[in-house]
């Protein structure tokens, strides 16, 4: 089985138990990935890790080179990608502290390099994106969450917004009417690019705040960070279990 890759999001700057053996600076036709890709060993499994915001979280969501990141992971011959995404919760049950394994996406992003299809080779890339997340990989994540006793939501619709600003309360109401459960800024075009490359891809979302207008507090980064620290521990546990089950 080809090794798994983890794309870390806000709050997941490294994998605690990963013994890093090598770092790969991959040059891609699309420029540079967010940072060199770590290759290492977690228990008896090989694993690749890439923090999509780069080290010290310098790259904002709309400026991430999603194409270079996915292309580089495929170049490293990873078998599947698990993405970690921090999100705001819209649906009542998706409270701060909750992990969500989303099953659907609504894309509100714009102006991002969102496809490998440059129209040059005469091949149309109308990928089937009916199910944006790989079913088998989602099932593996759900089984791991069950086995490790990690409270989670087994499905959810992810709204990908442009950022970097957070939403207005009217925008969040609209997302709710659209059927979205959580909102984040990095889920797209990442999921679609993985699909274009034929890489099985799934996401683990960490709800770090009630989406705009749904909580009593103003949204502060400090508040999100507190929740993130707690959830990051659960995510690390989930990933370890995922690997143990493989
Ligand atoms: N909106 C968009 N992205 C986010 C949020 C949010 O409320 N929280 C964390 N990432």
Residue 217, pLDDT score: 72
Please tell me the distance from the alpha carbon of residue 46 to that of residue 11, in angstroms, as a whole number: 22
209 CB under 6 A from ligand 1?
yes
- State residue 57's pLDDT score: 61
Which residues are within 8 A (CB) of 245 and not within 5 positions of it... i.e. 6 or more apart? 140, 143, 144, 147
Ligand 1 and 238: CB distance under 6 A: no
In whole angstroms, what is the distance from residue 190 CA to residue 114 CA? 8
With 0.75 as the threshold, say if the pTM is over it: yes
Q: For the domain 4-245, what is the CATH code?
A: 3.40.50.1580
What does the H/E/C string look like for 30-57?
Answer: CECCCCCEEEEEECCEEEEEEECCCHHH
Does the Cβ of 166 fall within 6 Å of ligand 1?
yes
The atom of ligand 1 lying closest to the CA of 61 is: 3
- In this prediction, residue 10 carries a pLDDT of 84
Residue 56: its pLDDT value, please? 66
Whole-number pLDDT of residue 226: 83
Report how far residue 171's alpha carbon sits from residue 168's, in angstroms, rounded to the nearest whole number: 5
Tell whether ligand 1 has an atom less than 6 A from the beta carbon of residue 7: no
Q: Which structure tokens are listed for 207?
A: 């709800």
Distance 184 CA to ligand 1 centre (A): 5
Domain boundaries in the chain? 4-245
CB 100 within 8 A of CB 25: no
Ligand 1 centre to CA of 241 (Å) is 27
Name the stretches of the chain with pLDDT < 70. Answer: 56-57
How many other C-beta atoms lie within 10 A of the C-beta of residue 222?
Answer: 6
Residue 90 Cα to ligand 1 middle (Å): 10
With a 6 A CB cut-off, is 175 part of the ligand 1 pocket? no
Nearest residue (by CA) to ligand 1, atom 3, is 184
Query: Does the C-beta of 167 come closer than 6 Å to ligand 1?
Result: yes
Tokens of 155: 């499905």
């Amino acid at each position: 089985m080809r090794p798994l890759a983890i794309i870390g999001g806000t709050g997941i700057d490294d994998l605690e138990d990963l013994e890093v053996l090598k770092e790969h600076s991959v040059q891609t036709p699309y420029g540079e990935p967010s940072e060199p890709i770590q290759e290492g060993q977690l228990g008896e499994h090989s694993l690749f890790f890439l923090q999509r915001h780069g080290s010290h979280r310098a790259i904002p969501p709309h400026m991430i080179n999603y194409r270079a990141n996915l292309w580089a992971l495929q170049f490293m011959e990873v078998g599947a990608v698990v993405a970690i995404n921090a999100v705001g919760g819209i649906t009542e049950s998706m409270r701060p502290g909750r992990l969500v394994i989303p099953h659907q996406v609504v894309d509100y992003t714009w102006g991002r390099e969102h496809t490998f299809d440059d129209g040059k080779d005469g091949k149309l890339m109308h990928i089937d994106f009916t199910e944006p997340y790989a079913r088998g990989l989602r099932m593996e994540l759900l089984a791991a969450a069950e086995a490790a006793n990690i409270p989670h939501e087994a499905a959810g619709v992810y709204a990908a917004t442009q950022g970097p600003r957070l939403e207005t309360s009217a925008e969040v109401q609209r997302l709710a009417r659209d059927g979205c459960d959580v909102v984040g800024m990095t889920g797209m075009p990442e999921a679609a690019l993985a699909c274009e490359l034929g890489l099985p891809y799934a996401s683990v979302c960490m709800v770090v705040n009630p989406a705009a207008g749904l909580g009593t507090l103003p949204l502060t980064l400090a508040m999100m960070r507190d929740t993130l620290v707690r959830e990051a521990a659960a995510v690390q546990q989930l990933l370890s279990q995922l690997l143990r089950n493989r």
